[in-house]
Amino acid sequence: MKLLFFIRSMEVTTRTFGLEGSIGPGVHELVFCRGGNGRLRSDGETTLIEPGSLLFNPRGRMVKDRSEPSDRTPLSVVQILFAEELFSPSINTDREALYVLGIVKLHAKKQNHIALSRIGRERMNTLMEAMLWEYQNRYRGYSWAIRLKLIELLITLMRDTQFNIAIKGLKPWSSSRIQDAVLYLNTEYMNPITVKDVLESCGLSRSHFHALFKKETGQTFVEYLSTLRCNRAAELLITTDRTVLAIAGDCGFNNLSHFHHVFRRKYGVSPARYRRNHGREDSP
């Protein structure tokens, strides 16, 4: 049976997170520190862990800091595993949640550590406590409550003063139909998309859609989708070691030549040069 949601409280002295293949596709891991200090080490980089630290899909070995040799107090963390299938792309609220989740995936820094303000850390701690309680007691409707808490977690992230990432798809639109189209593109950009697909998501005629879309976004449908895919590709080029070919496929480009053409038009350099300019070498 596929995992949809799992949560537990753990005490960590040393633990490895994000082993290859340990989490299935479409399943994400959140680790929130409630007490103690430590470090997450991976690929020569170190992320400091302290109360209030939130990690999204962490990778590497987490170790407890020991100020003194006799200090054996472990780190206290909450681990959450959840599948994107908890949210239905056919429901507008869930589609927005999937969009924000996509933004978080794109912009989590370094060891996928997400900085939070003091208020954000407090709210996150309260949410973790509530989800632990629901999962442990499993009263009627507990799965609904957990799903709502996950949405509340995403709301907490995007409203936090430390989360300085623009989320374009959630501003007030004069046309809710175009908002539906934008949210559809932001959650399906990695798959083949035609204008017909988008029209089905928003219920507009072709001519009306193109006129409204340009008015609302300032870009044509093709320009918006290309920008979305290129932005995602740029993130993957400097945060992963995946090949350029694999990244092109992951971002919805149907062939490498088209990817090179669109990427160079947007960034002025090839994907390989863009990667090197940001301190990474191409994967073999």
pLDDT at 72: 67
pLDDT value of position 256: 93
The pLDDT score that the predictor gives to residue 173 is: 46
User: Which residue did the predictor score with more confidence, 168 or 153?
Assistant: 153
Averaging pLDDT over each range in 25-34, 37-46, 258-267, which range is the top one? 258-267
Are 5-159 and 170-277 equal in CATH topology? no
Can you give the residue ranges of every domain in the chain?
A: 5-159, 170-277
- Cβ–Cβ contacts within 10 Å for residue 54, how many? 25
Domain 170-277 is classified in which CATH homologous superfamily? Homeodomain-like (1.10.10.60)
Q: Six-digit token pair at 261?
A: 């053409």
DSSP, res 26 = T
Question: Is CATH 3.30.390.50 the right assignment for the domain spanning 5-159?
Answer: no
In three-state secondary structure terms, 32 is strand
Q: Which residue type sits at 80?
A: I
Between helix 176-188 and helix 195-202 the angle, nearest 10°, is 130
Cα 245 to Cα 233: distance, rounded to the nearest angstrom = 11
Average pLDDT over the chain, rounded to an integer: 82
Judging by DSSP bridges, how do beta strands 45-49 and 60-64 pair with one another?
unpaired
Report residue 217's pLDDT band, with 50, 70 and 90 as the boundaries: confident
Is the entire prediction scored with pTM above 0.75?
Answer: no
Q: Which helix (H) or strand (E) holds 181?
A: helix 176-188
Per-residue pLDDT, averaged over 84-90, amounts to 77
